[in-house]
Structure 1
Amino acid sequence: MQTVIIGSGNVAYHLAKAFMLNAVPVAQIFGRNEQELEKISEKLQIPYSTKKLSDADLYIICVSDQSVGEVSRLIIRKDCLVAHTSGSLPIDILAGEYRKSSLYPLQTFSKSKKLDYQHIPFFIEAENEEDRKLLSDMASAISKNVMESTYEKRKYIHLTAVFACNFVNHLFSRAKEISDSQKIPFDYFLPLIDETVGKIHEIDPKYAQTGPAVRNDKRILEMHEELLEDESLEIYKTMNHSIQKLYEL
């Protein structure tokens, strides 16, 4: 089966790499950013193009949500399967007469960070059982965690991921701003972060909560608020209010 990956960003790179490491051939990587495509091509030994989209049985679109519809119009072949990798778009965003599907990897991707692909969950949606099986078999070649999911379910998966990943990472950035302002090496906080994340592998997050808000320690809460201003102060107040509301304090 001829497979083409469209895109040159983090998801395109890691998906192509995962396929190649598990003997799933990729015929071409296609996109607009020639510099990034060339890097991927050299590293993974996959042909690339910015001009001519190769003929394929399966096209996997790995671009921003805003570009999926536009990019999908480049595929003119009718007897093929097209999958996007978005967690927040329906499959009918794909604007062609081909068969439509979704192959959503639940992970945060950076090209510089190695990943264990076997543990990345993949969520599959397709218009018919044959295509669902095709995508499931392909995803199962690189991951132990593959399941079917409707668009309605995938929206909630993506929402959960934003809370669990994007928001948490933003809090890390804000925390580093505070430590940097006091010339405290942020590395000193990494064991605490690792333990916090590690705990929820064994304990429900609700029961793993610690800190002044869950203890309703008003002295510390007020002291911290005096040390903060602007957005960080608003985040601090909002987070503490949410914690206390969850525990009805």
Structure 2
Amino acid sequence: MKVVIIGSGNVAYHLANAFVLKGINLIQIFGRNENDLQEIALKTGVPFSTKILDNADLYIIAVNDGALEEVSQLITKKNCIVAHTSGSLPIEILQGEYRKAVIYPLQTFSKSKELEYHKIPFFLEAQNTEDYLFIENLALKISDHVEASSYEKRKYVHLSAVFACNFVNHLFARAKEITDAHDIPFKYLLPLIEETTHKIFQVEPKEAQTGPSVRNDVRITKMQEDLLNGEFLKIYKTMNESIKEMYEL
């Protein structure tokens, strides 16, 4: 089984690293950004190209969603599987006469952060049983958590991830803007962030909620609103209203 990864971003970087660590026959990294491709090549020892796409049994397209359809047209081989890694796009976005699939890893990827690949859930889709078993066998070499997923389910998996990861991280960034503005080291919040995250491994998130909003402490919420303006005030009010609605306050 020969595999080519198309892309040079965070997802491509980590998939390439995971494949090499697990002995999967990754023969090439293909893309447009030569500097990023060189970085992956140095990490994995896999050759790269910006011009010639090698012959493979499986092509994994790990590019941003906006470029996926265009990039998928680069593959002209018919007797192969082409899989994209998007959580939000259907299998039909792939434009070619090859066999189509999806290999969606549910994780936030950064090149600077090492990951435990066996913990990453993989959601898979293919057009027939034989191809599904092929990509399932590949994913199981990397992860302990692999399952089939329809496009309808995968859309909601990705949506929930936006709430649980992207939005939460944005709130961390906003919190740091507040601490920076008032000469408070952000590191003081790290034990709180750690405990908040660890707590939901033991109790339901709804049960873990604390703070003035869930206590319906109007005096404190009003005082904190008076400390804020602009986008910060909008976020604060939106979050408070959402909490009150959830707990019927």
TM range (shorter): over 0.9
1:38 aligns with 2:16: no
1:245 aligns with 2:245: yes
What's the counterpart of residue 8 of structure 1? 8
Partner Cα distance (1:181, 1:98) in 2: 54
Shift of residue 42, structure 1, vs aligned partner:
1.4
Shift of residue 25, structure 1, vs aligned partner:
1.6
Partner Cα distance (1:105, 1:39) in 2: 21
What's the counterpart of residue 111 of structure 1? 111
Residues 20-56 of structure 1: per-residue CA shift (max 9 Å, x gap): 0111120000000001101111121001000000011
Shift of residue 102, structure 1, vs aligned partner:
0.2
Residues 160-213 of structure 1: per-residue CA shift (max 9 Å, x gap): 000000000000000000000111000110000000000000000000000000
In structure 2, stretches of 5+ residues that fail to align are: none
What's the counterpart of residue 92 of structure 1? 92
What's the counterpart of residue 60 of structure 1? 60
What's the counterpart of residue 74 of structure 1? 74
Partner Cα distance (2:158, 2:43) in 1: 30
Output the amino acid matched with 2:233. L
Partner Cα distance (2:237, 2:135) in 1: 45
What's the counterpart of residue 17 of structure 2? 17
Residues 77-130 of structure 1: per-residue CA shift (max 9 Å, x gap): 000000000000000100000000000000000000000000000000000011
**Structure 2-normalised TM-score?**
0.99
Shift of residue 153, structure 1, vs aligned partner:
0.4
What's the counterpart of residue 135 of structure 1? 135
What's the counterpart of residue 198 of structure 1? 198
What's the counterpart of residue 216 of structure 1? 216
Partner Cα distance (1:164, 1:66) in 2: 23
What's the counterpart of residue 149 of structure 1? 149
The percent identity for this pair of structures is 63
Partner Cα distance (1:138, 1:2) in 2: 11
**Partner secondary structure for residue 24 of structure 1:** coil
What's the counterpart of residue 188 of structure 2? 188
**Structure 1-normalised TM-score?**
0.99
What's the counterpart of residue 232 of structure 1? 232
Partner Cα distance (1:201, 1:25) in 2: 36
Question: Number of aligned pairs?
Answer: 249
Output the amino acid matched with 1:50. T
Partner Cα distance (1:211, 1:226) in 2: 17
1:165 aligns with 2:165: yes
What's the counterpart of residue 122 of structure 1? 122
Partner Cα distance (2:131, 2:180) in 1: 51
Output the amino acid matched with 2:168. V
What's the counterpart of residue 178 of structure 1? 178
Shift of residue 232, structure 1, vs aligned partner:
0.6
In structure 1, stretches of 5+ residues that fail to align are: none
Partner Cα distance (1:112, 1:153) in 2: 30
Output the amino acid matched with 2:235. I
Shift of residue 150, structure 1, vs aligned partner:
0.3
- Aligned alpha-carbon RMSD (Å): 0.4
**Partner secondary structure for residue 40 of structure 1:** helix
